Chain A
């Protein structure tokens, strides 16, 4: 009897302690690159967060909530979203979508858009389901699909040569319609759309969205639409919500973020908007994983949205001012990079910009048989030796495709002018070092 017990105990002890669902999800580029930036960078254009403060009205909302008499703002609120917040979100997005939204059933608040994504995959993706991910993609989509037991199916945006030797635009990176169609199978449960797209800054056009929508309807596939950069579109472009296209409302979950909307990434308030038929399952995941989100941040964000609702479309609206400011910063960084020979891809949206660093390759020699993609080694060398932090584009590709575009890095330009100027100084100095004999 003792012998039998110790055999089964041995078997138990020889198994890994962690669950299988973690398989292939442990690597994370941010852990490494955030540490490197913290250690070496003088100018950090790497991780995506503003180095300028949130707008005064948002900070004031929080101060008001804190100094008010209602100390119950420090206690649990409604689990699926603080009532003032879901009400204003339902109102706001209802207007944008041309629909009557019920704050209790068509909106759910999450801990950042990140947790909204997690709820979507856990609620919709079963073992064996396929999920189409457009490359390059915000890196968490892949491990989240895997953790849900799903199979990611990748389809690339392919760059077309820009016209007449002009600078490339994110619009030049496009899906091949036939290639996209070929990725849909009977096992396809969902497609993840991210527009405006991180890292390229692409803002999908109506035609491109209709292409995706038609396939979703044809194959009865759901759409997880990550729209966190919805307000950051430039050059008069329009952010189109795929949920407003024909046949799409019933099969789309829209994800938004207070962090990106109000330049307060550390507040971790996000939301989902969609039909109750889908949101009910997100609520089940949410109530069994984090349950409640922090009350006071939700209260302040609700007030922020109230202000924006009143000022919508006017020059005073933060949603008008922020993209205007960021467009200038974008143009400044484009100029900086172009002047030294790094070729920027002009983003139509987001606060990211990808640049081709081929002209600087001589600084970082190739290492044949290296496991690490070239751009990753380049980015690490750059932060250590030049003090300038950026993220390699390979971070946003599946393992199989990490070497497809090996000479691009991503810069974040949601930075104070002083930061961008300091970046320019580094780049100029670097160029001079290269050209001087």
Chain B
């Protein structure tokens, strides 16, 4: 009888009764209940509720909009990656919990790949943590090692989550901008540099860590060995940790080399290096990332992980492990996906740059990553009548989405409060897009000057 009562019709009757009951009692309750309602947010998330992506992904969700905003590929991941997932999911035990700190075959594969890249032994069990995306690695690292009283240096513009994560850990973000230093005509991401003296002044006894992102989002800068040495010297001098976000590590273009700051002398013991399956294999929706570093730091990240989500998806980790083995075996071969993807993207980069230039814009050609920033002030679009108190680039992107059906991301989303004015004439385009998307963007940009707002 109780089984039958589980069907919705009977449930409906019972809950209907419950609802009317609730209603009459809630009238009596509301007077006393609302006064004492203490359901405020906790202090740690105060002021962290807004988010540029929530705002702009909603706006760009309209399929008639050519979406070069959010950084996600609309190209297909390599077929073997998808096949490995199908194979993994067919194995019964791979649908159940795996090892919390990382599926054994995956951490083994990661240790092999990165031993080769770094030229040092990496223990898969103690030196690696698998997380829910690089995002999860950033969170685990910051929660493990950063707290109230600490300062964390963040280089502007920055991937937007660094600031709220540092704040949520109770620490103080200290910003330093990349500055454009070139008198020439063509702008390259390499023209954006840190002022060594300015950087040195940001370090003090409270500086717990600096967050480095190379290749850099959004500018696409690939930090040179000399630039990394400047940062490394300061880290060693002030006993500062380095959180190195290297998700775009494979996406470097001709003439550039990705260098891991952890391989510089004195840096392995103080660096957490973060990587991403999403960016490595064009599978942002798999949400797998990893942190690599010395045991005495990684063990604290593992504690955070075991108290936040404990395990990551088993079948996805297994599939990723198999994909890594396939590419590990051909790391001497140009067909390896780690090299074929940047080749494919380099031509998209060049095409994107050309389209923007033909429209009268000045793009900053990135040395790495799959983003390109461009100064739109040269278009002289008058948005002064738009009432909102938002920065120019926010208003510009919203106008561009509405009137040109093309989306991008405003750069001031990636800046601290002091620097927003400096960057508010720039917007960011993502070019890891299939040819038809870039064709559609081309059509819009070619017609740009012919239409009025």
Residues of A at under 8 Å CB distance from B? 5, 8-9, 11-13, 17-22, 25-26, 28, 30-31, 34, 47, 49-54, 59, 62-63, 66-67, 71-79, 95-99, 111-112, 114-115, 118, 122-127, 140, 143-144, 147-148, 189, 217, 220, 222, 236-238, 244, 246-247, 249-251, 263-268, 277-278, 280-281, 283-285, 287-297, 312-314, 320
Interface size on B, residues (CB 8 A): 96
Q: Which among B4, B72, B74 has the highest number of chain A CB atoms within 10 Å?
A: B72
- With a cutoff of 8 Å between Cβ atoms, the chain B residues found around residue A283 in the complex are 49
A53 touches B92 (CB 8 A): yes
A266 touches B97 (CB 8 A): yes
A71 touches B132 (CB 8 A): no
Bound-state CA distance A265–B161 (Å) is 29
Q: Min CB distance, B49 to chain A, in Å? A: 4
Can you list 16 A-B pairs with a CB-CB distance of less than 8 A?
A9-B239, A59-B90, A71-B76, A74-B77, A74-B285, A77-B285, A97-B15, A122-B45, A251-B39, A265-B96, A266-B313, A280-B41, A288-B139, A289-B308, A292-B133, A312-B8
Counting from the closest, the 3 A-B pairs by CB-CB distance are A98-B15, A266-B314, A313-B7
- Residues facing A in B1-38 (CB within 8 A) are 1-8, 11-12, 15-16, 18-19, 21-22, 25-26, 29, 33, 36-38
Bound-state CA distance A148–B304 (Å) is 12
A12 touches B239 (CB 8 A): yes
A66 touches B85 (CB 8 A): yes
A98 touches B19 (CB 8 A): yes
- With a cutoff of 8 Å between Cβ atoms, the chain B residues found around residue A237 in the complex are 2
Q: Min CB distance, A4 to chain B, in Å? A: 10
Tell me whether B70 is interfacial, beta carbon within 8 Å. Answer: yes
Q: Min CB distance, A24 to chain B, in Å? A: 10
Q: Min CB distance, A84 to chain B, in Å? A: 14
Measured CB to CB, the nearest residue on chain A to B70 is: A76
CB within 8 A of B309: which of A28, A31, A111?
A111
CB within 8 A of A312: which of B7, B57, B85, B94?
B7
A294 touches B287 (CB 8 A): yes
B92 touches A26 (CB 8 A): no
B300 touches A22 (CB 8 A): yes
A220 touches B33 (CB 8 A): yes
Assuming the contacts A66-B85, A148-B42, asked whether A111 and B132 have C-beta atoms less than 8 A apart, the reply is yes
Bound-state CA distance A17–B51 (Å) is 30
B287 touches A293 (CB 8 A): yes
Bound-state CA distance A76–B22 (Å) is 40
Of the 9-residue stretches B144-152, B179-187, B221-229, B342-350, which lies at the interface with chain A? B144-152
Tell me whether B86 is interfacial, beta carbon within 8 Å. Answer: yes
Assuming the contacts A74-B82, A114-B310, A247-B29, asked whether A12 and B205 have C-beta atoms less than 8 A apart, the reply is yes
Q: Min CB distance, A103 to chain B, in Å? A: 15
CB within 8 A of B205: which of A8, A20, A67, A76?
A8
B6 touches A284 (CB 8 A): no
Q: Min CB distance, A317 to chain B, in Å? A: 9
Residues of B at under 8 Å CB distance from A? 1-8, 11-12, 15-16, 18-19, 21-22, 25-26, 29, 33, 36-39, 41-45, 48-49, 51, 53-54, 57, 70, 72-74, 76-77, 82, 85-86, 89-90, 92-100, 132-133, 135-136, 139, 143-147, 161, 164-165, 168-169, 205, 238-239, 241, 282-287, 296-297, 300, 303-304, 306-316
Q: Min CB distance, A34 to chain B, in Å? A: 7
CB within 8 A of A79: which of B44, B54, B303, B306?
B54
- With a cutoff of 8 Å between Cβ atoms, the chain A residues found around residue B51 in the complex are 287
- With a cutoff of 8 Å between Cβ atoms, the chain B residues found around residue A21 in the complex are 143, 147
B39 touches A278 (CB 8 A): yes
Bound-state CA distance A95–B297 (Å) is 47
Bound-state CA distance A226–B76 (Å) is 38
Measured CB to CB, the nearest residue on chain B to A129 is: B42
- With a cutoff of 8 Å between Cβ atoms, the chain A residues found around residue B98 in the complex are 266
B76 touches A123 (CB 8 A): no
A59 touches B313 (CB 8 A): no
A284 touches B45 (CB 8 A): yes
Given contacts A8-B205, A294-B287, A313-B8, 17 further A-B contacts (CB under 8 A): A49-B97, A54-B95, A72-B74, A78-B57, A99-B19, A118-B307, A118-B309, A124-B39, A125-B42, A222-B39, A267-B315, A284-B49, A287-B53, A289-B139, A290-B136, A312-B7, A314-B7
Bound-state CA distance A285–B239 (Å) is 30
- With a cutoff of 8 Å between Cβ atoms, the chain A residues found around residue B38 in the complex are 189, 220
Measured CB to CB, the nearest residue on chain A to B314 is: A266
CB within 8 A of B8: which of A75, A95, A293?
A95
A98 touches B18 (CB 8 A): yes
B8 touches A122 (CB 8 A): no
A112 touches B303 (CB 8 A): no
Q: Which among A20, A30, A51, A76 has the highest number of chain B CB atoms within 10 Å?
A: A76
Q: Min CB distance, A257 to chain B, in Å? A: 12
